[in-house]
Each structure stands twice: as structure tokens, then as C-alpha cells.
């Protein structure tokens, strides 16, 4: 009877270890083979290899040009000259 209890304990430990291995991370690191992007830790598979995520900014160009405001400057509204088509006041 003691031998059966030992076998049951060994089988229980083996099942626990097997479950832990089965629930482990199955995605692959950069450089390993892949078939889909879901296979990679980075989430990107290119030419059947896990690769790092692409950069968001290429850095090939300079900063964007400054925008000119569309709001007229405050001193333009205080101009005393009336428009040319305005009649006498």
C-alpha cells in the first residue's frame, strides 16, 4: 500500500510540472524562427524571423516647419483707415 501512495505522489508531481511547462511562455525572442507575428515576443515576424518592433520615427527629416497663425495680429484690428468700399461715415 505504501508503494502505491509513493507512485501517486510521483504522478501528481509530474502532472504539476507538466502543467507548469505547458502554461509557460511559448513566444520566441528576437532572432528565432517564426511563422506569424503572434509567435514572437516583439509581436513582429519578418522573413520567418522574430524582429524588433519598427521605429515610429525614421529620423531622416528635420523638425516640421513652424506654422503661421491664421489669427490676425491684435494691432491690425485697430487700423483707423476704413475699407475702400465703405461710404462716408
Q: How confident is the model at residue 14 (pLDDT cuts 50, 70, 90)?
A: confident
**CA–CA dist 25, 40 (Å, integer):** 10
pLDDT at 15: 74
Domain boundaries, the chain: 25-55
Q: What is the pLDDT of residues 18-27, one digit of tens each?
A: 666 666 678 8
- pTM, 2 dp: 0.40
Q: What is the pLDDT of residues 23-57, one digit of tens each?
A: 667 889 999 999 999 999 999 999 999 999 887 76
DSSP readout, 30-67? Answer: TTSB-SSGGGBSSS-EETTEE-PPPPS----S-PPPPP
Amino acid at each position: 500500500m505504501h508503494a502505491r501512495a509513493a507512485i501517486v505522489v510521483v504522478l501528481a508531481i509530474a502532472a504539476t510540472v507538466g502543467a507548469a511547462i505547458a502554461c509557460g511562455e511559448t513566444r520566441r525572442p528576437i532572432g528565432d524562427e517564426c511563422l506569424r507575428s503572434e509567435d514572437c515576443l516583439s509581436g513582429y515576424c519578418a522573413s520567418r524571423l522574430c524582429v524588433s518592433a519598427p521605429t515610429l520615427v525614421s529620423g531622416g527629416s528635420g523638425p516640421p516647419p513652424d506654422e503661421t497663425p491664421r489669427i490676425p495680429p491684435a494691432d491690425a484690428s485697430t487700423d483707423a483707415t476704413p475699407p475702400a468700399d465703405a461710404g462716408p461715415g
